[in-house]
Chains A and B, each alone.
Chain A
Amino acid sequence: MDLISGEKLEKMTSMEKIRLILDKVKKGKIVVLECGLTSDEEVRLIEMTMTEIRVDEFSGIEIESYPSKKEGSFLDKIFGRALKGRMTVIGPANQLRTIEKDKYQISTKVSVGD
């Protein structure tokens, strides 16, 4: 399992983040992103995942994060403080399975070996 810091993610472009995640997940790793991805990056990750699915090799990803907060406060807007992304866990679909998820907690089951 790889935990990737928000600091590292901040320095990467969207494409670099997506490539990093997919390369790790295709090798069987679970990736935890401290600050998650933007909604646009998440949708691009799904799109790229679809292009890389191969029968008997890679069936896709399991990705979980919490629902977004709607908007920042009035003060956040005045001072230009952007909302931070939410912690996100991503893994191979055949190894990571979500058991339960709600607003505040994600419970997952990780299978080692297939």
Chain B
Amino acid sequence: MGIISSLKESLGTWINRIFKKKRAKIGLYGPPNAGKTTLANRILHDWCEGESLGEASPIPHETRRAMRREGVVINANGSSIELDIVDTPGMATKVDFKEFMAFGLSEAESKKRAKEATEGVIEAIKWLDDLDGVLLVMDSTEDPYTQVNVVVIGNMEARKLPLLIVANKMDLPNASPARIKAAFPQHAMVSISALEGSNIDNLYQAIAAHFG
């Protein structure tokens, strides 16, 4: 059995090399409400026949468990890359249940959400050990100098893993992708609207170039 599975693996590797199909496990990271799940859904919509990965919501910490979709094949720049996409819960240094009550959730619901959100942050951190690269999703209307952004970038630099910054929500009037570029000039950045799909082809080209 061991020899057969080893042969299968080798054959798969050679086929991938011949057809230039590469594979990478990519994590979508960022603060809560940056649009990670909206982007994951956009990628799946475009390349997996309209599938979606999770539900997006204006209430922070809607994604409280990491969700993974294997085998997302993206074709760009004349080559093909197969991605395992991991949509991670929003990273934060604080979680206050009162924040959720402001969105109309009951106290009990808010406390439950806060507990699950803290577990989600831990899960997102654990995933950092098991990735080939990161799409760091930032809200272009917000201050980019958050510690979550600084920590994720610092970690990827220390691990020498590829990182692509996605300046999301460029459709909003007060969006400023230039502010993000000025904050982290050493990293490649693509500005998009995951919600509307604007500039998304440039993102796919950048993904193929960075992670392929």
**Which residues from chain A sit less than 8 Å from chain B, CB to CB?**
38-40, 42-43, 46-47, 49-51, 53, 55, 59-68, 70, 93-94, 100-103
In residues 110-161 of chain B, which contact A (Cβ within 8 Å)? 111, 114, 118-119, 121-122, 125, 128, 143, 145, 147, 150-151, 153-155, 157-158
A46 with B121, Cβ < 8 A, contacts A40-B158, A61-B94, A62-B94 known:
yes
The reply to whether B147 and A50 form a contact with Cβ atoms under 8 Å apart is no
CA of A68 to CA of B93, assembled, Å: 18
Whether A39 pairs with B118 at a CB distance below 8 angstroms is no
Q: Are B118 and A50 in contact (CB under 8 A)?
A: yes
Q: Are A43 and B111 in contact (CB under 8 A)?
A: no
Name the interface size band of chain B.
20 to 34
Q: Beyond A65-B147, A93-B94, A93-B96, is A55–B114 a contact (Cβ under 8 Å)? A: yes
Whether the pair A50, B122 counts as a contact (CB closer than 8 A) is yes
Chain B residues near A51 (CB-CB < 8 A): 118, 122
Give me the interface of B with A, judged by CB distance under 8 Å. Answer: 91-97, 111, 114, 118-119, 121-122, 125, 128, 143, 145, 147, 150-151, 153-155, 157-158, 183-184, 186
| Cα separation A93 to B128 with both chains bound (whole Å) | 24
CA distance A59 to B94 in the complex (A): 6
Instruction: Give, as a whole number of angstroms, the nearest-CB distance from B65 to chain A.
Output: 14
Q: Looking at chain B's contact residues, is the secondary structure mostly helix, strand, loop, or mixed?
A: helix
4 nearest A-B pairs in the assembled complex, by CB-CB distance: A60-B94, A39-B154, A93-B94, A59-B96
B184 A46 Cβ-Cβ under 8 A: no
- 7 further A-B contacts with Cβ under 8 Å, apart from A53-B95, A61-B94, A63-B147, are A38-B158, A42-B151, A50-B119, A51-B118, A55-B114, A60-B96, A65-B147
Total of A-B residue pairs, C-beta within 8 Å: 81
Given contacts A55-B97, A55-B111, A55-B114, contact A67 B183 (CB under 8 A): yes
**Judging by beta carbons under 8 Å apart, are B122 and A68 in contact?**
no
Q: How far is the CA of A51 from the CA of B117 in the complex (A)?
A: 11
**Of A60, A66, A68, which contacts B92 at CB under 8 A?**
A60
A76: shortest Cβ distance to chain B, in Å? Answer: 15
Interface class of chain A by DSSP: mixed
* Cβ–Cβ < 8 Å partners of B153 in chain A: 67-68
Check A101–B91 contact: CB distance below 8 A: no
A70 touching B95 by the CB < 8 A rule? no
- Residue in B125, B147, B183, B186 with the greatest tally of chain A CB atoms within 10 Å: B147
| B residues near A46, Cβ cutoff 8 Å | 91, 93, 121, 125, 151
Q: Which residue of A lies closest to B107 (CB)?
A: A55
Contact (A103, B158) CB under 8 Å given A50-B121, A53-B95, A63-B147: no
B157 touches A70 (CB 8 A): yes
B93 with A63: CB separation less than 8 A: yes
Taking a contact as CB atoms closer than 8 A, the residue among B95, B114, B151 that contacts A39 in the complex is: B151
A101's nearest neighbour on chain B, judged by CB, is: B145
In the assembled complex, the Cα of A110 lies from the Cα of B143 at a distance in Å of: 20
